[in-house]
Structure 1
Amino acid sequence: MKRTITTVLLGAALSLSAGQASAEKLILKFGHVGNPGSLFEASVDEFVKNANARLGDRAEVQAFGSSQLGKDKELLQKLKLGQITFALPSSIMSSVADEFGVFEMPYIVQSREHMKAIQAEMGDSVFNAAAEKKGYKILSYFENGFRHITNNTRPVFVPEDLKGIKLRTPNGEWRVKMFQLYGANPTPMALSEVFTALKTGVIDGQENPYAQIWSSKFQEVQQYLSITGHVYTPAYVLTSSKGFAKLPEDIQSDLIAAAAESQEAVYTMAAQLETDLLQKLKDASVEVNEADKEAFIAASKPIYDEFASSVDGGAQLIANVQSLAK
């Protein structure tokens, strides 16, 4: 009888121990706003795959897309509160620290190779340093992409064609100022609200990379696509600096390595999507035109001047980014 009781107690103890071990496995939540089929979703999934392969039984990264855990602003707050571990913000970072506003300057980033050079030369010293001052840490640079304009009013060839068009923009002061300069009526709005706003005519158009246009199904509610490529927006694998520092060092190292190794796959996917999705958008009966980029560049000088004069070190920041273009 005693042996039976001992066996039962031992079994219960082992079961409890196994349950505790399971409960102690770290769950690291990655929230983002990307819809199914978006570059954001594919990018985060690539990171999750690489991170979990390294982490094994010690921790698990879980992805939550489509704004399930909140919109960009909410995700930034949740990072600080420790409610999530990672987010993938893009344009909103210009509202976090002034330095990120340089990526809002029209046509300043020329290519992905240019972006890699910016990361190599300025990633730690400028952008990660700026993020750290605000309580965040950048693990790697992914991509939102080169942005283009869709609308239901008219094709856009030159900035004057935007006059009076109510255009959705992300929440970032420089994007708003840029489109005001071009003559549009910019309307900041969360990505998750844009489709309905376009369908109901609350706004006339929006601007996004092809991957966001297609995955958000804007082609179903937009008549014109104008290839402007007016801004290239990076996406940032972002975490809380304090929260990340609390993780075991081996897990930190594995997450940093996974973020770095995922970048090349992200850039490869992004380049392929630019070709594939443009064709899909054309096949969806969206009217496509090439904009006069030189006209947009000429019209953009005032916003460069304002950034240079109003942001501390802004002129040098612009010069440094431009100097890295090949």
Structure 2
Amino acid sequence: MKKFKMLSMILAATLALTACGGGGDKSEPANGEGAASGEKITWKFGHLANEDHIWHQTAEKFGELLSEKTDGQIQIEIYPNNQLGGETDTINSIKAGTVDMVISGETMANWAPKAALMAVPYAFRDQAHLVNVIEGDIGQEIEEEIVEKVGLTPLYYHTRAPRNLTSNMPISHPDDLSGFSMRVPNVPLFLSVWEAAGARPQVMDFNEVFTGLQQKVIDGQENPLDLIHSAGFAEVQDYVNETEHVYSWIYILVGNEQLAALSDELKEAVFAAAEEAQVYGSDLYEEAFAEYRTLLTEAGMTFNSDVDQDAFREAMLPAIQSQLTEEQYAMYERILEVE
């Protein structure tokens, strides 16, 4: 956690120096004096989860902590359930200056190619392996590229439970995917690996998935158990097929310009609040994920544990090799080697 906070502070300092030396209208005042006069600052924070989700609960905690640490100078307005638009829309709104914060992960690969490694199928063995990557050199490289190419600064992160495929029939092997139409997020690699496995994937914003399943526009989708639960997919899907094809993480991010506009004292408060929110969110994760399997079972879903994960891994590997650039594939191999 300390390393993550320190990295973020270094990145923020770099942004501030760049802004001071850039000569543009949006540059920060010299000596870190931005927003130091006591003016009230409100950051709009949009994300896709609902109010019961640990991402939202942690975001609320972050807002409380930041308000306390700045004596109310910085307030966070949180908009769950894609109220400010889908993930890509929200990122674009941050770039336009109409929104300030977002939760995002591999979708950022559309700007920062290394972010694709945040969710490569079968790259991470388990939760411990995932955290070692996030908090090590590879995670640092990904974060730096996000700052540079997406224009967002990571504040803290959430690890995610593995992604599983949902459907209205059991799917245990790639052979079962013939004719199976499924939603994937706007991540080219996801399209490619599911095509290679035999499905018919299509990109769809998360807020459209429930209706798509209900109206049988698509046959299934893939997500971690928390989002399967919070989105109410048990109402329109019968099976959770334990493909466990992706372990991943997501960042809570703020726009570079919004961060650079703060005084040094306010920046320190932002990162201090983020560090505490990181711990709070990790504790919630441990408590919550043990419950989701029970909740989904009670809601009527059947867990299909008879999934040949090796067959899915083998089917997807050629797409991973062909879709990742040489640099991305080298990083993928480095991830596999992390203890």
Give the TM-score taking structure 1 as reference length: 0.86
Could you say which residue in structure 1 is the equivalent of 2:261? 246
Asked if 1:319 is matched to 2:333, the reply is: yes
**Paired residues of 1:28 and 1:59 also in contact (CA < 8 A):** yes
Deviations 1:182-209 (A, max 9, x none): 1111111111111111111111111111
For residue 99 of structure 1, the aligned residue among 98, 109, 114 is: 114
1:1-326 matches, cutoff 5 A:
24-122=39-137, 125-134=140-149, 135-152=151-168, 154-290=169-305, 291-307=307-323, 310-325=324-339
Distance in structure 2 (CA, Å) of the matches to 1:124 and 1:52: 29
Q: Which moved more, 1:263-272 or 1:278-287?
A: 263-272
Distance in structure 2 (CA, Å) of the matches to 1:233 and 1:109: 8
Give the TM-score taking structure 2 as reference length: 0.83
The amino acid that maps onto 1:244 is L
Could you say which residue in structure 1 is the equivalent of 2:9? none
Distance in structure 2 (CA, Å) of the matches to 1:253 and 1:136: 17
The amino acid that maps onto 2:295 is K
Where 1:110 maps in the other structure, the secondary structure is coil
Offset of residue 123 of structure 1? 5.7
Offset of residue 170 of structure 1? 0.6
**Paired residues of 1:105 and 1:303 also in contact (CA < 8 A):** no
Deviations 1:51-80 (A, max 9, x none): 223222221122111111121111101111
Distance in structure 2 (CA, Å) of the matches to 1:113 and 1:281: 25
The amino acid that maps onto 2:238 is Q
Relative to structure 1, is the Cα distance of residues 119 and 56 closer, same or farther in structure 2, using a 3 angstrom cutoff?
A: same
Offset of residue 221 of structure 1? 0.7
Calculate the aligned-residue CA RMSD, in Å: 2.1
Distance in structure 2 (CA, Å) of the matches to 1:270 and 1:48: 18
Q: Which runs of 5+ in 1 are unaligned?
A: 1-20
Distance in structure 2 (CA, Å) of the matches to 1:127 and 1:148: 24
**Paired residues of 1:69 and 1:75 also in contact (CA < 8 A):** yes
Where 1:84 maps in the other structure, the secondary structure is coil
The runs of 4+ residues in structure 1 deviating greater than 6 Å are none
The amino acid that maps onto 1:137 is T
Deviations 1:138-189 (A, max 9, x none): 222223431111112x211112212211111111101111110111111111
Relative to structure 1, is the Cα distance of residues 312 and 250 closer, same or farther in structure 2, using a 3 angstrom cutoff?
A: farther
